[in-house]
């Protein structure tokens, strides 16, 4: 079975870290309503939700993806690039140790889970303001025994790798080619986001179905035209905190 580990929206999300977006007012209650709708979509796909309680002093804690990389063999606890986010890893480690052995990324390496795209035994790691080259080297050392190969990926103008590219089918990626080059993903097929929707590349693939933000209608049409089932969720309030649909859960097969 699959579980989705989530985290309640913190009342302090209005003080979230921002890198590429201007700060806008965030309606906390609306963000919580949208987050519950996201969890309901996961439940409808058969996942059990493991919800961690609110942490009022951790503004970005709803974005659990950045705290860990969950693989079949191990969970790698990250070392987020923003100092304010590093305490989030502790509570997630206490939860994940119930399901996986843990490994750890340590300084001077910094790593956000949103910069990590796992496709089979290939792991692509974005080189961003939050994730550095030592993290790539540590991941290779930690995961080589399990047969994974790590590929570092330069990108521009976005927070995380999965802002620019995500997996939407077995061998297909949804991509914004202005932010990351297709040539870095040899052997894959691509669906490009609509040019008017640069932030639309973040989709969550769960058991053959995509969860995707409802605001990106043109890109959703491209996905559906390609025969992919899509569940649309409202996520625009959390997007003000530079969050996407992959950010808000860690999917674990148990």
pLDDT-based confidence at 53, cuts 50/70/90?
very high
pLDDT-based confidence at 110, cuts 50/70/90?
very high
* Domain 2-253 CATH (choose: 3.40.50.300, 3.30.70.1290, 3.40.190.10, 3.75.10.10): 3.75.10.10
Q: Which residues contact 79 (CB under 8 A, 6 or more apart)?
A: 86, 89, 104, 105, 106, 107, 109, 110, 111, 135
CA 56-206-49 angle, 5° bins: 40
d(CA 114, CA 246): 8
Find the mean pLDDT for residues 173-179: 98
Closest Cα partner for 151 from 115, 192, 201? 115
pLDDT the model gives residue 43:
98
pLDDT the model gives residue 4:
98
The single residue of 7, 35, 160, 199 carrying the catalytic annotation is 160
Catalytic site includes residue 158: no
pLDDT-based confidence at 172, cuts 50/70/90?
very high
Question: Measured on CA atoms in the order 21, 86, 34, 125, is the torsion positive or negative?
Answer: positive
pLDDT-based confidence at 159, cuts 50/70/90?
very high
Catalytic site includes residue 20: no
d(CA 132, CA 130): 7
The single residue of 16, 39, 158, 247 carrying the catalytic annotation is 247
Find the mean pLDDT for residues 168-183: 98
pLDDT the model gives residue 137:
97
pLDDT the model gives residue 196:
98
pLDDT the model gives residue 27:
98
Find the mean pLDDT for residues 118-145: 97
Computed over every residue of the chain, the mean pLDDT equals 97
pLDDT the model gives residue 100:
98
Residue holding tokens 């792991």? 123
pLDDT the model gives residue 217:
98
Find the mean pLDDT for residues 86-111: 97
Find the mean pLDDT for residues 88-113: 97
Run of H or E including 52: strand 48-52
Within 13 Å of residue 42, how many CA atoms lie on the same side as its CB? 26
């Amino acid at each position: 079975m699959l579980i989705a580990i989530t985290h309640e929206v913190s009342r302090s999300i209005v003080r979230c870290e921002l890198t590429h977006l201007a700060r806008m007012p965030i309606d906390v209650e609306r963000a919580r309503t949208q987050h519950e709708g996201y969890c309901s979509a996961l439940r409808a796909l058969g996942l059990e939700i493991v919800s961690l309680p609110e942490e009022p002093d951790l503004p970005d804690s709803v974005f659990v993806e950045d705290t860990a990389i969950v693989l079949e063999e191990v969970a790698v606890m990250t070392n987020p690039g923003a100092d304010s986010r590093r305490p989030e890893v502790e509570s997630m480690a206490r939860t994940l140790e119930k399901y996986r052995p843990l490994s750890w990324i340590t300084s001077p390496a910094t790593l956000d889970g949103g910069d990590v795209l796992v496709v089979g035994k290939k792991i692509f790691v974005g080189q961003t303001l939050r994730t550095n080259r030592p993290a790539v080297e540590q991941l290779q050392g930690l995961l080589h025994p399990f047969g994974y190969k790590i590929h570092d990926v330069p990108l521009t103008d976005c927070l995380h790798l999965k802002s620019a590219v995500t997996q939407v089918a077995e061998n297909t990626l949804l991509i914004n080619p202005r932010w990351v080059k297709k040539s870095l993903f040899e052997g894959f097929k691509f669906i490009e986001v609509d040019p008017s929707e640069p932030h639309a590349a973040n989709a969550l693939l769960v058991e053959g179905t995509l969860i995707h933000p409802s605001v990106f209608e043109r890109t959703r049409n491209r996905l559906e035209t390609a025969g992919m089932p899509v569940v649309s969720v409202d996520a625009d309030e959390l997007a003000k905190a530079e969050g996407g649909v992959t950010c808000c859960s860690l999917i674990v097969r148990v």
